[in-house]
Amino acid sequence: MSDTAKHAGFMALLFVIIMLIFNLPLWRDADGATQTLTEAGYQDIEILPNKFMSHCGRIGPFITYFKATTTKGDPVSGKVCHSFFGDSYIRLDKKAKMEQEREREMEDSKQKSPTP
């Protein structure tokens, strides 16, 4: 085996190890996420397993996926991102946001249209 093939194999192995390290459950903060979601008014919170190769931008490494219910009773899903310094924020899934907007538009149109 040539030196180039050995080097490529080592780099591939190193890449896999790094990806596995950053996708371990220890990068999840279920208690902190539950507290953040509760303070924001979400109910029926269910913590989900981490997704492979997920990220939250530059805020920090802790990512916790969830499903919950809003104060209006709408089901939502998303992730809570946490930093090392205690900052956290909620990112709702785009699909959940679109479904909520669609439902609100339907409710608004029903309220505006006269009933025969």
Sign of CA dihedral 45, 79, 50, 25: negative
Asked, for residue 106, whether it belongs to a domain, the answer is: yes
Is residue 70 one of the residues assigned to a domain?
A: yes
Residue-by-residue pLDDT tens, the chain, 116 positions: 677 877 777 888 877 776 665 555 556 678 888 999 999 999 999 998 877 666 676 666 688 899 999 888 888 999 898 877 778 889 888 776 667 677 777 777 777 666 55
User: Residue 79 domain-assigned?
Assistant: yes
Alpha helices in 44-93 (DSSP H): none
Q: At CA 109, angle to CA 103 and CA 112, rounded to 5?
A: 145
Domain that holds residue 95: 27-110
Number of domains in the chain: 1
Residue 49 lies in a domain: yes
Instruction: Give domain status of residue 51, yes or no.
Output: yes
Distance CA 21, CA 4 (A): 26
Is residue 6 one of the residues assigned to a domain? no
**Residue 22 domain flag:** no
Looking at residue 84, its pLDDT comes to: 75
- 3 in a domain, yes or no? no
